[in-house]
Amino acid sequence: MGGIFTQKKVIPYSVRGTVNWTALPTPFPVGYEIPVESTITGYRSGPKWDSKVPTGTGEEVLTQAIAGNHFLTPFDNGHEVDIVTRYKPTTSHQGKTIRSSFGDVTYVQTDLMPSGSGYDPIPETDLVYYGTEFISQTRPRSAVELSSIFAQLLSDQELPDLKLKLIFDKVSFFRSLGPAFLNFEFGWKPFISDLHSLLQQVLLSYQTIQQYSKDGQPGKTVRRSRTINLPTEITESIDIHAPSVGGSNMFTGFFGSRVVQAYGNTVHKTTAVDKSIRFSAEYAYTVDVGKDVFSRMHAYAQKATALLDIRVTPEVLWELTPWTWLADWFADVGSILGNASAVAYDGLVIKYAYVTCNTSVATIFSVDDFDFFEYHPGTISSYFSQRRYQRIKATPFGFGLNPDTFSPEQWSILAAIGMADNAQNLHGR
């Protein structure tokens, strides 16, 4: 049946060290190993995996979700994955020969490695947080923009003066002044400014509704992607290890005392973490603005364009009375807005959405307080590099959600577009 499994690959890295002592007939090994472990945690299925026990540490919820077909849909059959790759370390001093002042002890083919060198856990990244933020930023904006346009009109404190009767009254007043209407600068200019603002909103609403209707056609989807590179995080610390080179065995005891002049106990550690986070998604929603309503919105936009393209005078405005088309525009936008709000909060479905994170960690260990009698190495350093690739996926309504918590309305939406059945199960391919 498959499940979440963790595969491990360990390749030991040998820190070489061999001692020749005149009192011994054969060389004495003093080296040690550092495990270089890489892992892959992800979904596996098929005969090879059916008899194995899935990983049970932290992935139980995901395992159950996949086993219940919750995360497989006709549009998305991918899986989450977590891959940690560790690379072979390097050290600044390799294959060295170190002799004692007495000539009785000699280290040959010896690597100098700062004590405590190794791989630290890779910092965690809250991908659910980033996924939620990305959805907020990339979800089709048309419905939200419609709400914003209409809300601005209703909240603007100056727009009550643009109610239809007041428009008629003001046009009548300025027309009665004849050529002198321009002398009323503090009345005419603000009025025309407010009127232009309203006409711009009419045009903007038509453009937004046009895109909204286009994106909401049956079978139409909207794809979005984002990539962010987080600033490099650099941390520095001092670790205490005695001795500061070679760990607890290589240069301790009798052999070490014959060649080491200063053991030291300070290891400087510098870690740089780089993260690149990428998001990709495909959204779908269905909406029917209606041909008649759309035609009327087009006509409103034409009237608004005509007014914005000419020099407006009281006489011109008088010819447009009684301005019923503007009243109709308010009514139509209000109707479309109600539909758009419902889609924005309930009808938007994520066909697929993934967040991936590439994390690179580079750590340098360095020692400058370790010295030998007959050999002076200076600063001794080692370099450890590792990378983590994570990928998580969203449910049809967002990241970090359990399909068992979907509402009946949400299940009906999924069923309507073929992503679920009436028994509230997501369809697989």
Block means of pLDDT (10 residues each) for the chain, length 429 residues?
Answer: 76 95 93 93 65 47 41 61 94 95 93 96 93 84 56 48 55 58 55 71 71 62 91 96 92 94 95 97 68 63 62 58 63 58 57 93 97 95 97 85 74 70 57
CA distance 3 to 354: 19
The model's pTM: 0.68
Asked if the structure places residue 421 within a domain, the reply is no
Asked if the structure places residue 422 within a domain, the reply is no
Give the per-residue pLDDT at 197. 73
Give the per-residue pLDDT at 307. 61
Asked if the structure places residue 428 within a domain, the reply is no
Q: Cα–Cα distances in Å, from 356 out to 73, 81, 93, 213, 229?
A: 20, 9, 37, 31, 12
User: Which structural domain, as residue segments, surrounds residue 232?
Assistant: 3-416
Cβ partners under 8 Å of residue 384, min gap 6:
86, 87, 89, 117, 118, 119, 362, 363, 364, 365
Number of domains in the chain: 1
CA distance 187 to 191: 6
Give the per-residue pLDDT at 278. 97
Asked if the structure places residue 429 within a domain, the reply is no
Give the per-residue pLDDT at 97. 96
Asked if the structure places residue 47 within a domain, the reply is yes
Asked if the structure places residue 427 within a domain, the reply is no
Give the per-residue pLDDT at 102. 86
Give the per-residue pLDDT at 351. 83
Say if residue 243 is preceded by a cis peptide, omega within 30 of 0: yes
